[in-house]
Structure 1
């Protein structure tokens, strides 16, 4: 009997050792790009659209460039703008935030944003955050613009940042942490980044590189271009401002969206040359010095402010099965 017990114990140990030695399942590599954007200033165009690319430069619209999510189903105003899409730090969840706004109601007409979360990039849960109802003391709030999300490892939470304008004051980028299920914001919004000159800034877009956070932002109404501020901690660090503009044009630009190319050391900075009705890409390897991309950039649609996220082939096929190829 003792020998039988020893054999059984050895069998258990062997199974455990084999399990421990089994190689971990490799994550599927990223092989394509998903572009989330809106298309214009009419109410019908203020909606979430998706496009995909194999190389990061040539994009085809999904769903025949029609909305993939109906604005009236998710927003208070009936329109949404400035979609920002993010892969969760677990690699398997996805987050979007959008401005809840119809611009024909006036540039000072919106008071909130919409938070969205998905497990498959196809089905999205949503929650509108209307600041006058969510927070006290919002009588002088004029607008809530261009929210974006980043995971803050120090807090272990998702940080949502956006610009707020109160009364005659400047647009100031604020932040608040999202709750665990990404349906609401926790605590009161706090100032996040204020340029040294104290002038308005909007359209914050943060990229993490080598332990530092690079915030691209638009100098609203004074230069109308894109600058960068850098910090080592999202909420407790000091922002160091780079003095020069990063866009590769003399025309006014907004809506910075930055992403890293797959298998390449280059980062792409894209922006909306909104008065000239075109979209441009610039490139950098150090997030400080920029130049125009050498590749041709093509899109079978005209985007406005949007963002790009890298995706796997499985995710690409899932998106195509739901919304079809542009072809």
Structure 2
């Protein structure tokens, strides 16, 4: 069964869609074009327009410039009329891009307690064929089937070559086994419109919750694992696996560089185009300082990370909160910066 944000006039149409989606062969990813820039999608905070989608770009992955005069690029008028924690995804065939975000606006005055335990269980999704022209937002209720679900936060997605599906995963706070806490759930989709019912993905032992999970795929497996993920679970924990939905091995956390989950959240992992290095950003929410930049040449050990000196990077004009980074081709970079020029 698939949950669909689009309505059909007959049950037979729904059945045909489901059977067709399940029988489709896995898509082979096209040869990747050289990457020559980066796009960051993010929100800025709980101000009047802070919980909308902003864009920033970089040529080197270290120094960033706000686009659109540091104003929102995409707005939501659905659900809570706010979008936080955006994630941007390139389709497997390279023909589309999707932005998934939390349906939440704390500036509405509802408060964090209500947002966690009686908030929206939907995601807000945008799509584009060129990163410049974006669809109107659509709301997809992915977590409504989870018993006692109070929210659906910080969505991410990764393509599963084995099945031809995208695995969409997010955090939901709900009671289970006598404990009300955040757990990671997932659904499968082929088009970011029809979704399978939510299933439990990650549940930490005892009362420990988990949020803000992000998975990245390695270009090769020489580092030990095909996939790595970073999560907020009291620490910023790094894990490795060779299957997205398989067993994961704990690698370590950021205590080795003096950071804990009480200080930082919302990890972003991405690879720098000009080297084999990986960048890890963490949101300094406790100090209200925005992102801190760490780097590593090998994700197989959390001890390989170092915090960059302030002079080694710049984040642009606006304070950037929990977002996502897409590596761009030169043509994509030019198109985005032509449409929304850099802030001066």
Number of residue pairs the alignment of both structures matches: 291
* Structure whose residues are more often strand by fraction: 1
Moved over 6 A (4+): none
Query: Over the residues paired in the alignment, what is the CA RMSD in angstroms?
Result: 2.1
In structure 1, the gaps of 5 or more residues are 1-24
The residue number in structure 2 matching 1:285 is: 297
Aligned ranges for residues 115-130 of structure 1 at < 5 Å? 115-125=125-135, 126-130=137-141
Aligned ranges for residues 1-327 of structure 1 at < 5 Å? 28-72=33-77, 75-103=78-106, 104-107=109-112, 108=116, 109-125=119-135, 126-131=137-142, 135-136=144-145, 138=147, 140-167=148-175, 168-178=179-189, 180-186=190-196, 188-196=197-205, 199-209=208-218, 210=221, 212-219=226-233, 223=234, 225-235=235-245, 237-245=246-254, 248-250=257-259, 252-278=263-289, 279-287=291-299, 288=301, 289-293=304-308, 296-298=312-314, 299-327=316-344
Change (3 A) 1:246 1:207: farther
In structure 2, the gaps of 5 or more residues are 1-29
**Can you list the C-alpha shifts for 1:283-307, whole angstroms capped at 9, x where unaligned?**
1122122111356221221101011
Instruction: Please report the TM-score for the alignment, with normalisation by the length of structure 2.
Output: 0.79
**Cα distance in 1 for residues equivalent to 2:48 and 2:201:** 30
Distance apart, 1:28 and its partner CA: 4.0
Could you say what secondary structure the match of 2:331 adopts? Answer: helix
Could you say what secondary structure the match of 2:49 adopts? Answer: helix
**Can you list the C-alpha shifts for 1:92-131, whole angstroms capped at 9, x where unaligned?**
3212110000123233223221122211001223321135
Tell which structure's C-alpha radius of gyration is larger: 1
* Maintained 8 Å contact 1:247/1:253: no
